Amino acid sequence: MSHAIATTTPELPRGIVRVMLRKQLQVMRSTLLAEITNQAHAGDQPMLRRFAQVESALRRMNEGTFGRCVECGGPIALERLQTSPDATWDGVCEAHGGHVQADR
Ligand SMILES: [Zn+2]
């Protein structure tokens, strides 16, 4: 998807990316929280799962383990985190079935 700009785009320092991702996660968290406390979505399992995932990403950020695969401990690609900051697995583990989300 971003193959054309990969070599010319200067890489953002990880610290800045982290701040951006944290902000993104906090926005996701409050959006989801509003959704799951809305009667129309009461008991919406995929949404609750997503919320739990965002919560755990924020927790891992505080613990300093954010950006690592919960399965193998390997690093999750920055590019991947930028598209889904709540990613729990690296590409390899997700491909092996770690990913059980129903939303795609
Ligand atoms: Zn992994």
25: exposed, middle or buried (Cβ count in 10 Å: 0-12, 13-18, 19+): buried
Q: What is the DSSP letter of 12?
A: P
100 or 46: which carries more pLDDT confidence? Answer: 46
Residue 5 lies in a domain: no
CATH code of the domain containing 79: 1.20.120.910
**C-alpha of residue 29 to centroid of ligand 1, in Å:** 24
Residue 66 lies in a domain: yes
Residue 59 lies in a domain: yes
Is the pLDDT at 101 greater than 60, yes or no? no
Q: What CA–CA distance (Å, rounded) separates 40 from 67? A: 33
pLDDT at residue 42, as a whole number: 77
pLDDT at residue 20, as a whole number: 92
Q: What CA–CA distance (Å, rounded) separates 21 from 56? A: 14
Residue 102: partners with Cβ closer than 8 Å, 6 or more residues away: 46
Domain tally for the chain? 1
Range of the domain at 54: 14-98
Residue 39 lies in a domain: yes
Residue 80 lies in a domain: yes
**C-alpha of residue 34 to centroid of ligand 1, in Å:** 31
- Summarised one tens digit per residue, pLDDT across range 27-38 is 999 999 999 998
Average pLDDT for 24-52 = 91
pLDDT at residue 104, as a whole number: 40
Residue 2 lies in a domain: no
**C-alpha of residue 38 to centroid of ligand 1, in Å:** 34
Q: What CA–CA distance (Å, rounded) separates 51 from 97? A: 20
pTM for the predicted model, two decimal places: 0.74
**C-alpha of residue 40 to centroid of ligand 1, in Å:** 36
Q: What CA–CA distance (Å, rounded) separates 76 from 70? A: 10
What rounded mean pLDDT belongs to the chain? Answer: 84
**C-alpha of residue 76 to centroid of ligand 1, in Å:** 8
**C-alpha of residue 96 to centroid of ligand 1, in Å:** 9
Q: How confident is the model at residue 17 (pLDDT cuts 50, 70, 90)?
A: confident
Residue 23 lies in a domain: yes
